[in-house]
Structures are given as structure tokens and as C-alpha cells.
């Protein structure tokens, strides 16, 4: 009984019927799972990205021949990343092969608006959310961490479901107070100023020091803050 349970478990896992000393026969579900697993393990993903793999139906007129050896799957090196013909091979002496079309969609987390927003809207937990979008439909540098953007403002009107990007938000907005942090390896000096430009994360903007009146260049590294490396 114990051996029978093991045999049943192996059969269910691989979806193939194995007879010692004879060829293995494969059903369509086995091929679909083989292809999906191979694609998921061999297609590179952006950070926090996910794959959606859609395997085309195998023509019912095609008869899947038995194979003594385990089937192998291969993806062409020059595929375009979205549509690919996966090659299934039986590597026996009397080999056979089959090409199965597969649609590959890479989806990534993106911050989007929950509602229509006017220019100058303050971003917070009530008006933005994270969804997964097709990577090929994304333009510009998208933002993915809501905590980072809380307190930023929109630089133009945004429609509902629009992606939050560096181009349409300002972490430091022109005319608003700014924390200025001048730092080196040994010390740090903080002061205050007024932003002379809009700026998003990583951008260099001009800021007028409130005390001295001097205009300096700083890099935006947080909401209403620029840093100057000495």
C-alpha cells in the first residue's frame, strides 16, 4: 500500500504515466505546466515584477507521441519578451519536437491615482494606491513606495488611474520652504531656504538660503528637502 501511494504521488506530480522500460506518454496539462514553469524560471524580471504566462491551446488534431526521455523546453534567445514560441523536444534517438506559442506579460507595481486630481494636489493614503500594470505600457520613472511620496504634490492634472511618476510630481515645489542639509563625511549642517524650482527625487534644483540670501544647488532626497555634498 505504501509503494502504491508513492507511485500515485509521482504520477500526479508529473502528470505523466510511466511504465518501466517503456516510453512515457504525456497529456496536454503536463505540457502546459512544463512550458509555464520553464518560462517563469528563465525570463528575467524587473524588481518586484511578476509574470503572467498564457500558453496557447495545443491543436487537438496533434497526437502527442510517447518519449523514453524526459521532455525538454527551450525559449529562443532572440524572442521579443512578449510573444514566443517555446520549443518542446523529445530527445530520443527517434526524436520529435513541437512549437507552442506563449504570451508573456511582465507586470510591475505602480503607484496610481484613486481619483482625478488637479494640479497641486497633496498626495496621501486616501488618493493613491498600488496596482500591477503591464510594464510595456509604463512611460517614465514610476514610483512604487507610497510612504516616499506622501506629502508630494502633482505638477499637472491627473486622470483617475494615472501613474505617479517623477515627471508629474514635485517633492520640492517652487516657492515652498525647503530644508537644506549640507554634509560631508565628518559633519552635517542644516539650514532653511525657499525652492526656486520644482524638483522630484534625485533632481538638482536651485534654492535660496533664507538667512544669507545665497542661491545654492541641491539634490532633492526627500519631501521638502535637498542635500548638498561637501
User: Do both 112 and 88 map to the same domain?
Assistant: no
Cα–Cα distance measured from residue 16 to residue 25, given in angstroms and rounded to the nearest whole number:
6
- Residue whose entry in the numeric block shows the C-alpha cell 524638483: 199
| Domain end call among 60, 87, 106 | 106
Confidence bin at 78 (pLDDT 50/70/90): low
**What share of the chain has pLDDT > 70, as a percent?**
89
Answer yes or no: are the C-beta atoms of 211 and 177 closer than 8 Å.
no
Same domain (yes/no): 131, 208? no
Q: How far is CA 222 from CA 119, 120, 163, 173, in A?
A: 20, 17, 19, 12
Give CA–CA dist 191/165, Å, rounded: 28
Question: Any idea what DSSP says for residue 164?
Answer: P
Q: How far apart are CA 68 and CA 94, in angstroms?
A: 10
Q: Domain of 161?
A: 108-170
Give the model's pLDDT for residue 12. 33
Residues 98 and 112 in one domain: no
Question: What are the pLDDT digits (tens) for 207-227?
Answer: 999 999 999 999 999 999 999
Mean pLDDT, all residues of the chain: 86
| Total of domains in the chain | 3
List helix spans (H) across the chain.
2-14, 28-42, 146-149
> Which of 89, 106, 123 is at the close of a domain?
106
* Same domain for 87 and 33: yes
pLDDT of residue 2: 38
In this prediction, residue 154 carries a pLDDT of 96
If asked whether residues 7 and 27 sit together in one domain, one would say yes
What is the arithmetic mean of pLDDT over 123-150?
Answer: 88
- Contact assessment for residue 110 and residue 144, using Cβ atoms and an 8 Å cutoff: yes
In the chain the beta strands, taken as DSSP E runs, fall at 16-17, 25-26, 50-55, 72-74, 83-90, 96-113, 128-134, 153-154, 169-170, 177-183, 188-195, 204-209, 215-222, 225-229
- Higher-pLDDT residue of 49 and 192 is 192
Residue 5: what pLDDT? 35
Amino acid at each position: 500500500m505504501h509503494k502504491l501511494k508513492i507511485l500515485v504521488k509521482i504520477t500526479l506530480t508529473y502528470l505523466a504515466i510511466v511504465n518501466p522500460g517503456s516510453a512515457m506518454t504525456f497529456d496536454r496539462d503536463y505540457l502546459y505546466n512544463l512550458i509555464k514553469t520553464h518560462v517563469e524560471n528563465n525570463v528575467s524580471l524587473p524588481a518586484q515584477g511578476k509574470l503572467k504566462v498564457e500558453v496557447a491551446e495545443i491543436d487537438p488534431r496533434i497526437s502527442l507521441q510517447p518519449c523514453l526521455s524526459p521532455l525538454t523546453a527551450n525559449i529562443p534567445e532572440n524572442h521579443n519578451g512578449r510573444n514566443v514560441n517555446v520549443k518542446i523536444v523529445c530527445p530520443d534517438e527517434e526524436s520529435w519536437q513541437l512549437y507552442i506559442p506563449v504570451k508573456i506579460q511582465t507586470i510591475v507595481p505602480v503607484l496610481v491615482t484613486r481619483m482625478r486630481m488637479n494640479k497641486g494636489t497633496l498626495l496621501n493614503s486616501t488618493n493613491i494606491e498600488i496596482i500591477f500594470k503591464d510594464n510595456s505600457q509604463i512611460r517614465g520613472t514610476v514610483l512604487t513606495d507610497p510612504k516616499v511620496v506622501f506629502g508630494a504634490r502633482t505638477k499637472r492634472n491627473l486622470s483617475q488611474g494615472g501613474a505617479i511618476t517623477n515627471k508629474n510630481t514635485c517633492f520640492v515645489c517652487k516657492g515652498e520652504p525647503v530644508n537644506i542639509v549640507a554634509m560631508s563625511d565628518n559633519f552635517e549642517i542644516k539650514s532653511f531656504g525657499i525652492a526656486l524650482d520644482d524638483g522630484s527625487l534625485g533632481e538638482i534644483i536651485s534654492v535660496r538660503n533664507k538667512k544669507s540670501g545665497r542661491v545654492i544647488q541641491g539634490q532633492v532626497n526627500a519631501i521638502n528637502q535637498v542635500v548638498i555634498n561637501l
